[in-house]
Amino acid sequence: MQRFADGARWSYGAEEFVFVEVSEAMSLDATLRTLAITSALRDASVAGVVDICPSHASYMLRIDPDIIDPREVPPLLADLHVAYADTGDVRLPSRLIEIPLLYQDPWTTETLMRFRDRHQSPDTDDITFVARINGFDSVADYITAHSADPHLATFIGWVPANAECFQLVPPERIMQAPKYLRPRTDTPVRALGTGGAFCNIYPVRGAGGFQLIGRSPVPVIDVSQTLPDFVDDFVLPRSGDIFKYRPITIEEYYEIRSTVEAGTYRYRIFPTTFDVAAFRADPVAHNRQLMAVLDG
């Protein structure tokens, strides 16, 4: 690996890929730098850069060597790393998306209880365990904290529409959870899991190791593109999207599922801008202003 002036490491993957490690540690600052750099690169529309894949503290580019010489790419990236050495004045174009969520739902609860031999706390369900290790007196208090502030999508990957999100709160309020001791072999589609400092909705049914804390009635992927909001893309989340989870009752869950199955459900999606300086200056006021549109 070679390094840029800011210490970020980069390397080639044959002739088609360039991988850059912005930071060895995952943090909100590293994530914001990664998003700022890749967003600027995307806006630049560099000929030959076919795909841009940001992660929590790294990113990878796929290039077409018939259009651009791979050796021309690192100097372009070096300039962006200098331009975004400090993210204090960065304003990231984004979307605020409200996601209804049934916390401690019966489907994920039934599933996770089949795998207690793989869990750190075999006598409780996942959300009770996560609430306890994060210092909450009750599951209700944990749900309030988890749903009160928005979550920034920092990595889209593993499978299409899998969006790992970092909650936009001050460092002392970041909630964390370990993964299972051994992964489950089953996870309900649309289950919300949390692992490390991140959470994500499972796009499809399958294996998983995140703690399961709820389930959404709405999909994050629609391959058939039946729902109106999937007409242009069968994947809902984009890197840099901001999700607000709205707690719902089981009655609301069934009502929303019926509109999804009828193909009429519409997501509440609002174009917005994530102002890094405003967030750092006063996260509470920033989030309140950001989410005010949801009250309209």
CA 73, 232, 163, 243 dihedral sign is positive
Q: Answer for the pair 60, 18: CB distance below 8 angstroms, yes or no.
A: yes
In the predicted structure, residue 186 carries a pLDDT above the cut 80 = yes
| CATH numbers and ranges of domains, the chain | 2-86 (3.30.1360.40), 93-295 (2.40.100.10)
DSSP state of 23: -
Counts of helices then strands in the chain (DSSP H, E): 8, 13
Q: Average the pLDDT over 275-288 and give the result.
A: 92
Indicate the pTM of the whole model.
Answer: 0.88
pLDDT per position as a tens digit, 32-42: 889 889 989 99
Q: What is the mean pLDDT of residues 156-168?
A: 89
Report percent pLDDT > 70 for the chain.
100
Structure confidence by residue, pLDDT tens digits, 105-161: 999 999 999 999 999 999 999 999 999 999 999 999 999 999 999 999 988 877 888
- Tokens encoding 108: 């994920």
Least confident residue range of 18-32, 69-83, 218-232, 250-264:
18-32
